[in-house]
Amino acid sequence: MRNVVWWFSCTVAAILVAKSSGDDSNLPLLSLAQGQARGSFMTTQNGRQFSAFRGIRYAEPPTGQLRFKDPVAASAWEGVLDASREAPKCIQYDPIVGSILGEEDCLMVNVYTADVNAAKPVMVFIHGGAFIIGSGNGGNDPYGPKLLLDRDIVLVTINYRLGPFGFLSTEDAEAAGNYGLLDQSLALNWVRENIATFGGDAGSVTIFGESAGAASVEYQILSPRSKGLFHGAISQSGSTLCHWSFFDNIGHRTKTLATFLQCPTDSSRHLLDCLRTKTTTEILEMRRRFQVPPLMGVFPVVFGPRVDREREFPFLPAHPRRLMASSNFNHVPYITGINRNEGAGFLTHLLANDAEAMNGVAKDPSKYFSYMLGLDSVDNSAGRVAEAMELLDAQVPLDQQLTTLDEMLSDTMMFKCVDESVNLFGRFNENPTYYYHYAYRGTISTTMTTGVTADLGVSHGDELLMMFSNEFFVATVTDDDRRMSELIMDLWTSFAARKVPQSDLMSSQWQPMDRHERRYLNIDANGAVTTGQDLPFHSRLPFWNRVLNTPAAKEEL
């Protein structure tokens, strides 16, 4: 978070008016230092009433001269803010739906609470979407509060800048990048200053996120700009060490985008001045030219996090691996883990529409696999891709090799990088680091959102269906689903409250990683058990370490 002084007092008064019908004055009203905000009432899945305050601004609109700059804390507003509805998504081109969504003025938080007179643990969720798409909303994104608010927590979800608006950089002090991560940090500062008003304990804040949100959580752990803003962290299927979450060539891509838009590249200042005159649509339409149409979904991720040493006070002063190995990070209790078939979510996009995309990949597999495996910008890319593709049977169509494809994508996009992170945190974190492997296939899976009904396993994002309500479908439809939902929410919310994940549905404690022993919690239909056995992918990691030419993920503990 930018080192700015939050100008208003942290002393706030709260008023919650009892519910009645037909009169806005009887909806929940809070007095914040920024001004008054009127929310709405919602009801949990189990019938518990709670208050929702949505679309509250935590930063000034990042438009005009504030585009491609560090976020500025929001000023006060006049009158009573209507916080009864969600704010727009941050501006984005969604390649999955094929359209531009959202607005540039989007830096808002949503807060859900059942009791403003308490001091409950706070959980702040950071959404995923490859740093390109998504929002923290529950209406137009699947992060509704109606499951978690049955628990005694205060839930906060946030929006942050995406794509070029959040991560463009000239690799100098004019535009050092990482604006989306700085947005998250400023939102956490807003939480610290305001959450007591909502019945939250500012001294008990846990950040959690999935996919790019999981990597974002890890970035907040690593950043000196976020020191003291949270007290526990949970990363679900993502790491700063994944090839899609860390970049060292953003400056080149920024100049390429500027060239597309006929902006000068002779100086960073001239380039940025020109880009600030362009509409969001013009910028996002040109951003699409980096895409590998139309098969890759959100990949390649063109603009994302980077080391920003050019800043006087960097958000990320060194490579994530170096920060972990030097123990130079915010030491907090940490949960991180993976799902059994992380690659399945990507496979669904290849299989959708009668495997249209899969057929396209089959015509030029080396081109597309270079992006899938994160080899598009490394030395000897063609040779490494060819070696990786030897895992596939050239005599068998791609759509009949789903197990091998899932393993390749899971290994290279998630398993390898998350496993390396957990090993490093297990060694150097002064607080407990908990590792999990989620292997429960529910009745509903995220793979079904593309119309693919085949059972592809436990996909990327499947555990979110156990935690968040959404308007697309009800996930907890069987007794087993409901039991799994209770287990996951037990573990996450007990960790938020006491920094030790616990559940009465487990027969034994979840043991954290040890400097001398790898341990993880295996979660499947039979329950949850801590084990020290190798995960199935561990035997494949030496191959990928050689092909990808990266440090060994399974280091000695």
Pairing of strands 80-82, 40-43: unpaired
- Find the Cα–Cα–Cα–Cα dihedral 533, 494, 19, 38, rounded to 10°: -80
Beta strands in 135-227, from DSSP E residues, in sequence order: 154-158, 200-210
Residue whose tokens read 């007092």: 9
Q: Whose CA is closest to 329, among 215, 181, 207, 222?
A: 222
**Phi, then psi, of 271 in degrees rounded to 5:** -60, -50
- Find the Cα–Cα–Cα–Cα dihedral 140, 162, 183, 432, rounded to 10°: 80
Q: Whose CA is closest to 373, among 394, 395, 390?
A: 390
Residue whose tokens read 């909303």: 137
Burial environment of residue 482 by CB neighbours within 10 A (0 to 12, 13 to 18, 19 or more) = middle
**Phi, then psi, of 350 in degrees rounded to 5:** -75, -30
Q: Of 51, 211, 239, 503, which residue is the catalytic one? A: 211
Cα four-point dihedral sign 450, 441, 126, 121: positive
Element containing residue 232 per DSSP (H, E)? strand 232-236
Instruction: Report residue 526 as tokens.
Output: 């039979």
Residue whose tokens read 């001239």: 270
C-alpha R_g of the chain: 23
Residue whose tokens read 């000068």: 264
460 is known as an active-site residue: yes
Cα four-point dihedral sign 129, 131, 132, 133: positive
538 is known as an active-site residue: no
Q: Of 86, 171, 342, 420, which residue is the catalytic one? A: 342
Q: Of 460, 463, 485, 503, which residue is the catalytic one? A: 460
Helix (H, G, I), strand (E, B) or coil at 366: helix
CA distance linking residue 106 with residue 88, whole number of Å: 6
CA distance linking residue 214 with residue 131, whole number of Å: 11
Per the CB < 8 A criterion, the answer to whether 276 and 268 are in contact is no
169 is known as an active-site residue: no
CA distance linking residue 413 with residue 417, whole number of Å: 7
Q: Whose CA is closest to 553, among 520, 510, 518?
A: 518
Pairing of strands 35-38, 92-94: unpaired
Catalytic residues: 211, 342, 460
